[in-house]
Amino acid sequence: MTARAPLDPAVAAVRLATRRALASHADAAVIVGVSGGADSLALASAVAFEAPKLGIRALAVTVDHGLQKGSDAVAAAAARTCTALGLEARVIAVQVGGSGGPEAAARDARRRALRAAAVEIGAPAILLAHTLDDQAETVLLGLARGAGAASLAGMAGSRADEGGVQWVRPLLDLRRTDTVAACAAQGLEPWRDPHNDDVAFARVRVRRRVLPVLEAEIGPGVAEALARTADQLREDDEAFRDMIEEMIEDIVEHAEAGIAISVRALAANPAALRHRVIRHVVASEFGVSLTRSQTLEVARLVTDWSGQGPIDLPGCRAQRTGARLTFAARA
């Protein structure tokens, strides 16, 4: 009897992470986002191996953004690879547009396409191939923006959207070197996105320049430390969110053309909670994310009010009216 060759450690690690993510979706269906890069090919291969054991139907979806010459050929090649692995595969062409820059527009278009595919086949989960390296880059970018704990919390391993579809990232504890090694061990040839080498993109500069310098100057383990920071801040953010939801039931009421919050209740709470309540109310009622300076300006209507007038914010206006802080849509 011929001895079975030992399983490559990188392949084993990717399969184990994928098996754990799929376990809660047995006998269901999942969507796997596949770009053709090393991360998504390693994930697709693991899903192809693990899903049949759990009775899971897996559909690999490659989104063609049409932003590069030959993108249709790249997408078709990724789909063929997925088919060869034993997965159902589909290419979806999208139109990329809107505000927020090309990266954000492409991401939004991709998410819409993946979610539409999930709804079509009744899949409760969408699997994405982000790694620990992606998490570290996200935390550094959030730190540079000064966007607060919610941004520094990075990407969750699993998160349900408003429609109940789970966005799952099985590989967040693995490095990019693991997915590259897993592809090499299985004879998979990943596509190398030229955008990943274009330093015009902030994320590429973080990947190619910033993280290597941090590793060289501070020592190894910076990416892992950033990922741990994200985990801790996400726990804190979830706890704050629960506290805010409980608070809002008691201190927020609907007002004419807007919403009002008890000044006394806001003032009685620590600044961290006060600021989060203000941001939460504005975001949920008017779809606007306040900057820190805008949040502090509104908070002064609670803590340092001396009769000053209303504050114009993006999409709404904040005003102190006696014992209430009111927010109303701007005409």
Per-residue tokens: 89: 């595969």
- In CATH terms, the superfamily for domain 9-223 is HUPs (3.40.50.620)
pLDDT at 3: 60
Domain boundaries, the chain: 9-223, 256-329
- pLDDT per residue as tens digits for the range 77-128: 999 999 999 999 999 999 887 666 777 888 899 999 999 999 999 999 999 9
In the numeric block, the tokens 């504050």 are attached to: 311
User: Which residues are within 8 A (CB) of 69 and not within 5 positions of it... i.e. 6 or more apart?
Assistant: none
DSSP 15-63: HHHHHHHHGGGTTSEEEEE--SSHHHHHHHHHHHHHGGGGT-EEEEEEE
Q: Are 317 and 310 contacting, i.e. CB atoms less than 8 angstroms apart?
A: yes
Kindly tell me if the per-residue pLDDT of 149 is higher than 90.
no
Q: Would strands 252-255 and 166-168 be described as parallel, antiparallel, or unpaired? A: unpaired
- Separation of alpha carbons 259 and 196, rounded Å: 45
In the numeric block, the tokens 């291969």 are attached to: 45
pLDDT at 99: 63
pLDDT at 100: 64
Kindly tell me if the per-residue pLDDT of 1 is higher than 70.
no
Q: Mean pLDDT over residues 5-20, rounded?
A: 95
Residues of the chain with pLDDT > 90, as a percent, come to 68
In the numeric block, the tokens 């900057």 are attached to: 291
pLDDT at 292: 87
CATH number assigned to the domain with residue range 256-329, chosen from the 4 options 3.30.465.60, 3.20.20.140, 1.10.357.10, 3.10.520.10: 3.30.465.60
pLDDT at 179: 98
* Per-residue DSSP letter, 230: H
Residues of the chain with pLDDT > 70, as a percent, come to 97
